[in-house]
Amino acid sequence: MNNIVVRTISGAVFVALILIPLWLSKETAGVIFSLFMLLGLIEFYKLFNMSKIVSVNWKWASAIGFFIYALISGVIFNIIPVQLLVVIVPLIFILFIGEIWQKKENPLLNVAIIGLGHLYVIIPFLFMIYLIKNDDSSFPLLAGMFILIWMNDTFAFLSGKFFGKTKLLERISPNKTWEGTIGGSFFTLLAGVAIGFLFDQENVVFWIISAIIIAPSAIIGDLLESLFKRNAGVKDSGSIMPGHGGILDRFDATLFTIPIFFAWVVIYKLIC
């Protein structure tokens, strides 16, 4: 019972931190999402702390990554001139050439992991920052995306718990089932219909297709992070959120979903 209470409170705080700023202040939302990005990036590199093959300095990699992220975010919010983005290229190469003097056993693998962290964590959050800054919809696009992801996650869990029998990908995530996946997808679609008809009648088709896109994307994102954790030999990416694990555990579905959702937003705006 205590664990349920802790999970509920922690989850409610997380939801509030995500949704409330999206309606109240783009700048506040940008700061909060940037903090989540930094914590997630640190968690990603710390996954390899116990690895005997990969050797990455999480402080150095996270600092460079956050600086790159801050530069691009500053351009998106019109805080700094776009010309300063030229600084990013030498920063990336500094990370690469640093392996020359480290005398580590697998320098190419270390470089690949550093690059993967930037690709997996930084780029998705930059898509979110762009939507925060440039979204003037009556119902915030990111809010809708997160609600659909959470609906999929919640009802996939409940459907799997009560009806799950057929394993989805047991070698990666033993608890996921096809029944849970189908149940989560169905209720995500219902949520997309509800968002469209109740809050954004001019874009009902957009939200229905968004739900169809988000449901499988969220599942794949969850499985991908599970694959990373299984490879690293850890249960959770961190412990910053009591009862839920780390930031990556909460954003696992989002990190894979947002690039696809972002592409759909751009396509929809072009054709409508």
What HEC string does 137-168 produce?
CCCCHHHHHHHHHHHHHHHHHHHHHHHCCCEE
Does the pTM surpass 0.85? The reply is: yes
Summarised one tens digit per residue, pLDDT across range 202-256 is: 999 999 999 999 999 999 999 999 888 888 777 777 777 765 678 998 999 999 9
Q: Tell me how far CA of residue 197 lies from CA of 173, 201, 251, in angstroms.
A: 35, 5, 27
Q: Please, what is the Cα angle at 161 between 156 and 164, to 5 degrees? A: 80
Main-chain phi, psi angles of 239, to 5 degrees: -140, 20
Burial (0-12, 13-18, 19+ Cβ within 10 Å), 235: exposed
In the structure encoding, which two tokens stand for residue 22, read together?
A: 């999206």
Summarised one tens digit per residue, pLDDT across range 143-162 is: 999 999 999 999 998 998 88
**Which residue stretches of 204-246 are H helix?**
204-232
Q: Do 35 and 18 meet the contact criterion of CB atoms below 8 Å apart? A: no
* Strand-strand pairing, 173-177 and 167-169: antiparallel
For residue 76, pLDDT beyond 60: yes
Summarised one tens digit per residue, pLDDT across range 6-19 is: 777 888 888 999 99
Report long-range pairs for 27-30 (Cβ below 8 Å, ≥24 apart).
27/77, 29/132, 30/73, 30/77, 30/129, 30/132, 30/133
Name the percent of the chain in helix, strand, coil, to the closest 5.
Answer: 80, 5, 20
Q: Which residue has the higher pLDDT, 53 or 101?
A: 53
Q: At 35, which amino acid appears?
A: L
